[in-house]
Every structure is written in structure tokens, then in C-alpha cells.
């Protein structure tokens, strides 16, 4: 009976695993210090034709109010032409733009986290957008990989 | 001739092993290191290199854990092929010389009712009254660390599917040195008592999906409210409504700010950024990954003469974090966004 129960639970979980995307966040650890990783991230973004539009200093905002936090920023980036065209045709995408990556320190390492652009395909099932999301996913994967491999 | 063939086969075998080891390291770095640390030292995730951890888990447990994850407890499911998961498991094992333990799959027989009472006295303080695990998202990595490891959720369907009774029993008997998990034999329990606790933990499979394993379900990825006002008035209304809901206005900028040359940005797409720092701090302490959707923002858009307010739906986004502890916060934030936009439209 117990074995049957375990089998059923495993089968159910495996079913869920295949039904939902496995890991919907793209997250990497870099051995670089925070300032080095931040520089590597911005370089990786710009060398792929994107422009860094803004760096949100989450850490500074928090510490000004009196909370303790390690270095924590959010980097926004995009391509002017692409965003203008997409938002004109698909205004629902606007809240998810510009694209961003959260970057924060963990001791001597730095963590980068962002949602996989392919997740947006679930949110916005328009087939016309699929290629855009796939293209972003490819670029973003390259960007975070470059930061992870940077020494 | 035989010697040459044997030698060639040995070289090839060595080369395959080296390749597998390098694949394991690469796959681990890509898929696991962000949470578990580059060398398994832990962080948001369990310290996998801890000898006492490795001494109490089988390769099958590690494999199943990677495959099934922990619903609602951050660890995601994995769609990697079995060979890749095995390579990751081998890499994890390479940090310790001790052989991987193997456990019988035969269920442990015990008195679950007696186990329930023992669990309440011995385990509930750390693992929660119903086995829901320690509070917080592992050891949050951008925050002060109070504990080297979080007490796992024993009633999590992922854990129960991955762990055999014998494995749970061994952990209870030996404890895990370097973590708060003590040996219950040393605490004075008898083996029979431990069997009873194992039976109780196994009985948790029969309860419906625990709350901590829940994922919020909602359809909309975007929250939208139409405004009866013009763009400028709507923007001012959003700022005022945010402020009256305890959010601090941070800045207003066109969506194309930083993309288009200054002065040539599209003025019909304006983002209003605001923050409630207390809520922000609570959210980051619960799960540092949520910074991805910070700061709070509402975009006011004018299109074809109509003005509307738009923002992300945190309830929809909560799903991608696989963290049930964020559910309440995301639910609250969705309500705040809607309240602010509705107030701005009055």
C-alpha cells in the first residue's frame, strides 16, 4: 500500500513537472565580486546591442530608510526600436518592459536572477511574439553565461 | 594485441569518466550553484557538501529531488535528462570521499499515532507542527544568516516522494552534524520510537496538498484599469493614490527613457515608480529573488485617445518563484496595485 502511494505521488509529481516549465527563473552565481560582476553584466548587455537604461539602487533605498542589506541593484535594458515597435503592436507587454536583471551580492560572490523570457510566452500566447521571446531568451542566456564564466 | 585493446579501453573509460565529471561540474554550476553555492556550501539551498548530509542521503534521493523539486519551497522541478541529473549527483558526491549510502525501499513499520506524539515533542519546534518546515526561504543570501540550514518541510510531496523510510530513519538516528538536527538515539529515544516517528512522517502523504506547497493560480499577467482622465491628470492621480496607500513616489519617466535620445522619448508611455520600503524589506527577506520585479511601478499609457494604467500581476508572477511564502505578499501587492489604479480612476 505504502509503495503504491509513493508510486502514485511520484507519478503525480512527474506529471506536474512535465506540465509546468521546470525552472522559470534564470539564476546564476558568479565568483566575481559585486562591482566586477556588475561591470561584466553591463558589458555583456551592451555587446549584444542592448542599451542599459537604468540601474535601480535597491540597496541604497533600503539603507537610507534604516534597513540592512548587501549590495542589491536591478539593471534595466532594451533596444529602442524593438521596444517602440512591440509596444505599439502589443501594448499588454508594456508592464514587462524594459527587460531587467536583478544583481546582488552574497558574501564574495554575486547572484544574478531574471525571469526567463520564454515564460512571457505563457503570459502572452500570441504566436507572433514567440520568436521575440525566444530571441530574448537566447541573448539573456548568453549574457548571464558570460558573467558566470568571467574571471 | 589484447593488451593494446585493454589499454585503449581503459584510456577511453578514463576519458569518458573525465568527460562525465566535467559535465557534472558544468551542469551543477549552471543549474544548482546559484542557490547551493559554487562548492556546495549552501545559501538559499541546502549545503550539499556537508559530510553529515551526504552520509544520510542516497544518490536516488538526490536524483529524485532534482527531478521533482519541492513544490512551493523554491527548489524547482527539472526537465534535464536522467544522464545529466546523474552527472550532477556524481559531481555533488565528488566533494566527499565517503561512499554514497544506499537505503532499503522496504517501508519502516511503526505506530504512526505514537510517532505523532513523539514528533510533536521532538521535531515540531523546527519542522513545524504539521511538517511544514522552517519559516523563511532557506538561508536568505542577501540577509544576515542565523542558521546554516533551514529545517526541511517533511510533509512536502517532493520530499516524501524522494526520501525512503530507511533514509529518514537514518537521519533521525544519526542526526546531521553541523546542523541543528540532532541524533535522536543520543537524545534517549529507542529505535522503536524512531520507527514510529518515521511512520508518522510517512503518513503525511495521505493529507491533501499542504498549504506551503500551494502555488497561486490566476490567469491575468497584466492588471489594467481604464482612466477617464487625460494622461497628465492620470499620472498625477496615480502618484496621489500611491502616496495615500503608503507608497513613496520615487520617479516618473518615459518607458523609452535611456533608449531614445533625450527629448525624443515617447511621452504617451510614462512609468511611475514608487515603493513601500517596509514591504520591500519583508519581500526581500522572504525571497531575495523578488527584486526582479522592483521597484513597484504602474505605466500610464495613452493609445488611440484612450488612457489606461497597466502593471504586472504579482499573483501571476508568484508562480515562477515556486515559493508559497510569497503567496500572501504577492496577493497583497496585487490588491495594492488594483486599489491604487482604481483610486486614480475615480
* B181 and B232 housed in the same domain: no
- Say which residue, B15 or A46, is predicted with more confidence: A46
* B198 and B238 housed in the same domain: no
Q: What integer pLDDT is reported at residue A18 of this predicted model?
A: 36
Report whether pLDDT(B29) > 60. Answer: yes
**C-alpha span between B260 and B268 (Å, rounded):** 14
- Say which residue, A8 or B197, is predicted with more confidence: B197
Q: What percent of chain B has pLDDT over 70?
A: 86
Whether B9 is covered by a domain: the verdict is no
Please state the domain count of chain A. Answer: 1
* B208 and B81 housed in the same domain: yes
- Say which residue, B142 or A113, is predicted with more confidence: A113
Whether A40 is covered by a domain: the verdict is yes
- Chain A environment of B107 (Cβ under 8 Å): 2-3
Report whether pLDDT(A19) > 50. Answer: no
Closest CA to B22 of B87, B108, B117: B87
Q: What percent of chain B has pLDDT over 90?
A: 60
Last residue of a domain, one of B160, B187, B212: B212
Could you give the C-alpha distances from B259 to A96, A115, B39, B77, B252, in angstroms and in order?
A: 15, 21, 39, 37, 15
**C-alpha span between A38 and B111 (Å, rounded):** 56
CATH number at residue A130: 3.30.310.70
**C-alpha span between A70 and A90 (Å, rounded):** 37
Residue A17: which of B77, B141, B303 has the nearest Cβ? B77
Whether B169 is covered by a domain: the verdict is yes
Q: What integer pLDDT is reported at residue B134 of this predicted model?
A: 78
Instruction: List B residues 59-78 in contact with A (Cβ-Cβ < 8 A).
Output: 64, 67-69, 71, 76-78
Kindly determine whether residue A51 and residue B312, on different chains, have CB atoms separated by under 8 Å.
no
Q: What are the residues whose beta carbons fall under 8 Å from the beta carbon of B294, sequence distance 6 or more?
A: A56, A58, A74, A102, B275, B280
- Region B155-168 average pLDDT: 95
Q: What are the residues whose beta carbons fall under 8 Å from the beta carbon of B254, sequence distance 6 or more?
A: B260, B265, B266, B267, B269, B270, B271
pTM beyond cutoff 0.95 = no
- For A98, the grid coordinates are 524594459
* B196 and B238 housed in the same domain: no
Note the ipTM here. Answer: 0.84
Q: What integer pLDDT is reported at residue B18 of this predicted model?
A: 56
Q: What integer pLDDT is reported at residue A14 of this predicted model?
A: 43
Please state the domain count of chain B. Answer: 2
Q: How far A62 CA sits from the closest chain B CA (Å)?
A: 7
DSSP B120-152: HHHTHHHH-TTS---SSSSS-TTS----SSPPP
Q: How far B284 CA sits from the closest chain A CA (Å)?
A: 9
Kindly determine whether residue B320 and residue A25, on different chains, have CB atoms separated by under 8 Å.
yes
Length of chain A: 151
* B147 and B233 housed in the same domain: no
* B147 and B295 housed in the same domain: no
Report whether pLDDT(B17) > 70. Answer: no
Kindly determine whether residue A76 and residue B69, on different chains, have CB atoms separated by under 8 Å.
no
Q: For B71-116, how does the pLDDT look when each residue is reduced to its tens digit (9 = 90+)?
A: 888 899 999 999 999 999 999 999 998 999 999 999 999 999 999 9
**C-alpha span between A132 and A128 (Å, rounded):** 8
Interface residue B47 vs chain A (CB under 8 A): no
Q: What integer pLDDT is reported at residue A147 of this predicted model?
A: 95
- Mean residue pLDDT of chain B comes to 88
- The boundaries of the domain holding residue A122 are 22-149
Interface residue B205 vs chain A (CB under 8 A): yes
* B37 and B175 housed in the same domain: yes
Whether B2 is covered by a domain: the verdict is no
**C-alpha span between B280 and B285 (Å, rounded):** 8
CATH number at residue B273: 3.30.310.70
Residue B258: which of A20, A54, A112 has the nearest Cβ? A54
Closest CA to B150 of B286, B57, B335: B286
Interface residue B107 vs chain A (CB under 8 A): yes
- Region B43-62 average pLDDT: 92
Residue A97: which of B255, B260, B317 has the nearest Cβ? B255
Contact A120, A133 (CB under 8 A): yes
Report whether pLDDT(B317) > 60. Answer: yes
- The boundaries of the domain holding residue B310 are 222-345
Whether B10 is covered by a domain: the verdict is no
Whether A7 is covered by a domain: the verdict is no
Which site among B291, B302, B333, B341 would you substitute to test the A interface, given the most A Cβ atoms closer than 10 Å to its Cβ?
A: B291
Could you give the C-alpha distances from A28 to A116, A144, B47, B93, in angstroms and in order?
A: 12, 7, 17, 21
- Say which residue, B171 or B288, is predicted with more confidence: B171
Q: What integer pLDDT is reported at residue B226 of this predicted model?
A: 96
Report whether pLDDT(B158) > 80. Answer: yes
Report whether pLDDT(B241) > 50. Answer: yes
Kindly determine whether residue A24 and residue B320, on different chains, have CB atoms separated by under 8 Å.
yes
Alpha helices in B32-111 (DSSP H): 33-36, 51-54, 59-68, 82-93
Q: What integer pLDDT is reported at residue B20 of this predicted model?
A: 59
**C-alpha span between B336 and B246 (Å, rounded):** 10
CA A3 centroid distance within chain: 40
Whether A139 is covered by a domain: the verdict is yes
- Say which residue, A23 or B335, is predicted with more confidence: B335
Last residue of a domain, one of B212, B239, B270: B212
Which site among A33, A95, A146 would you substitute to test the B interface, given the most B Cβ atoms closer than 10 Å to its Cβ?
A: A95
Helix, strand, coil in percent for chain B, rounding step 5: 50, 10, 40
Whether A15 is covered by a domain: the verdict is no
* B231 and B206 housed in the same domain: no
Last residue of a domain, one of B212, B237, B263: B212
Confidence tier at B294 by pLDDT (50, 70, 90): confident
Whether B195 is covered by a domain: the verdict is yes
- For B218, the grid coordinates are 490566476
Q: For A57-111, how does the pLDDT look when each residue is reduced to its tens digit (9 = 90+)?
A: 999 988 998 888 889 999 999 999 999 999 999 999 999 999 999 999 988 889 9
- Say which residue, B173 or B219, is predicted with more confidence: B173
Q: For B188-231, how does the pLDDT look when each residue is reduced to its tens digit (9 = 90+)?
A: 999 999 999 999 999 998 876 666 656 556 668 999 999 999 99
Whether B232 is covered by a domain: the verdict is yes
- Say which residue, B223 or B288, is predicted with more confidence: B223
Q: What are the residues whose beta carbons fall under 8 Å from the beta carbon of B12, sequence distance 6 or more?
A: none
Q: What are the residues whose beta carbons fall under 8 Å from the beta carbon of B22, sequence distance 6 or more?
A: none
The helix/strand/coil state of B269 is strand
Report whether pLDDT(A22) > 60. Answer: no
* B110 and B197 housed in the same domain: yes
Report whether pLDDT(A116) > 60. Answer: yes
Q: What integer pLDDT is reported at residue B3 of this predicted model?
A: 64
Q: What are the residues whose beta carbons fall under 8 Å from the beta carbon of B194, sequence distance 6 or more?
A: B110, B169, B172, B173, B184, B185
Whether A11 is covered by a domain: the verdict is no
Amino acid at each position: 500500500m505504502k509503495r503504491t502511494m509513493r508510486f502514485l505521488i511520484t507519478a503525480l509529481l512527474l506529471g506536474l513537472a512535465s506540465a509546468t516549465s521546470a525552472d522559470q527563473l534564470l539564476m546564476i552565481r558568479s565568483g566575481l565580486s559585486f562591482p566586477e560582476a556588475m561591470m561584466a553584466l553591463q558589458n555583456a548587455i551592451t555587446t549584444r546591442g542592448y542599451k542599459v537604461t537604468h540601474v535601480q539602487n535597491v540597496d541604497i533605498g533600503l539603507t537610507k530608510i534604516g534597513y540592512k542589506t548587501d549590495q542589491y541593484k536591478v539593471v534595466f535594458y532594451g533596444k529602442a526600436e524593438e521596444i517602440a515597435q512591440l509596444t505599439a503592436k502589443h501594448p499588454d507587454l508594456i508592464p514587462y518592459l524594459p527587460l531587467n536583471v536583478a544583481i546582488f551580492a552574497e558574501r564574495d560572490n554575486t547572484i544574478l536572477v531574471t525571469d526567463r523570457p520564454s515564460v512571457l510566452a505563457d503570459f502572452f500566447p500570441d504566436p507572433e511574439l514567440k520568436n521575440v521571446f525566444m530571441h530574448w531568451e537566447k541573448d539573456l542566456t548568453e549574457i548571464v553565461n558570460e558573467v558566470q564564466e568571467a574571471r | 594485441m589484447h593488451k593494446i585493446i585493454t589499454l585503449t579501453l581503459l584510456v577511453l573509460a578514463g576519458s569518458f569518466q573525465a568527460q562525465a565529471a566535467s559535465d557534472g561540474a558544468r551542469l551543477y554550476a549552471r543549474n544548482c550553484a546559484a542557490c547551493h553555492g559554487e562548492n556546495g556550501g549552501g545559501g538559499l539551498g541546502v549545503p550539499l557538501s556537508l559530510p553529515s548530509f551526504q552520509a544520510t542521503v542516497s544518490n536516488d534521493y538526490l536524483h529524485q529531488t532534482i527531478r521533482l523539486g519541492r513544490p512551493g519551497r523554491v527548489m524547482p522541478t527539472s526537465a534535464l535528462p536522467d544522464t545529466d541529473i546523474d552527472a550532477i549527483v556524481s559531481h555533488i558526491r565528488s566533494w566527499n570521499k565517503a561512499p554514497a549510502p544506499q537505503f532499503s525501499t522496504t517501508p519502516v513499520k511503526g505506530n504512526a499515532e505514537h510517532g505523532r506524539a513523539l514528533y510533536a515533542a521532538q521535531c515540531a519546534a523546527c519542522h513545524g507542527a504539521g511538517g511544514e518546515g522552517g519559516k523563511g526561504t532557506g538561508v536568505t543570501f542577501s540577509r544576515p544568516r542565523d542558521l546554516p540550514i533551514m529545517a526541511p518541510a517533511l510533509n512536502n510531496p517532493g520530499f516524501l516522494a524522494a526520501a525512503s523510510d530507511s533514509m529518514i530513519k537514518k537521519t533521525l538516528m544519526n542526526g546531521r552534524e553541523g546542523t541543528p538536527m540532532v541524533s535522536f538515539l543520543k537524545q534517549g529515544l529507542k529505535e522503536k520510537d524512531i520507527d514510529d516517528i518515521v511512520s508518522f512522517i510517512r503518513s503525511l502523504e495521505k493529507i491533501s496538498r499542504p498549504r506551503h506547497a500551494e502555488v497561486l493560480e490566476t490567469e491575468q499577467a497584466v492588471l489594467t484599469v481604464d482612466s477617464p482622465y487625460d494622461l497628465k491628470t492620470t499620472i498625477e492621480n496615480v502618484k496621489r493614490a500611491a502616496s495615500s496607500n503608503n507608497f513613496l513616489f520615487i520617479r516618473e519617466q518615459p518607458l523609452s527613457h535611456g533608449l531614445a535620445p533625450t527629448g525624443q522619448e515617447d511621452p504617451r508611455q510614462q512609468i511611475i515608480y514608487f515603493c513601500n520600503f517596509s514591504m520591500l524589506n519583508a519581500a526581500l527577506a522572504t525571497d531575495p529573488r523578488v527584486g526582479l520585479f522592483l521597484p513597484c511601478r504602474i505605466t500610464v499609457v495613452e493609445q488611440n485617445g484612450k488612457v489606461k494604467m497597466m502593471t504586472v500581476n504579482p499573483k501571476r508572477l508568484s508562480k515562477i518563484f515556486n515559493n508559497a511564502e510569497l503567496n500572501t505578499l504577492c496577493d497583497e501587492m496585487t490588491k495594492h496595485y488594483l486599489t491604487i489604479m482604481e483610486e486614480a480612476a475615480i
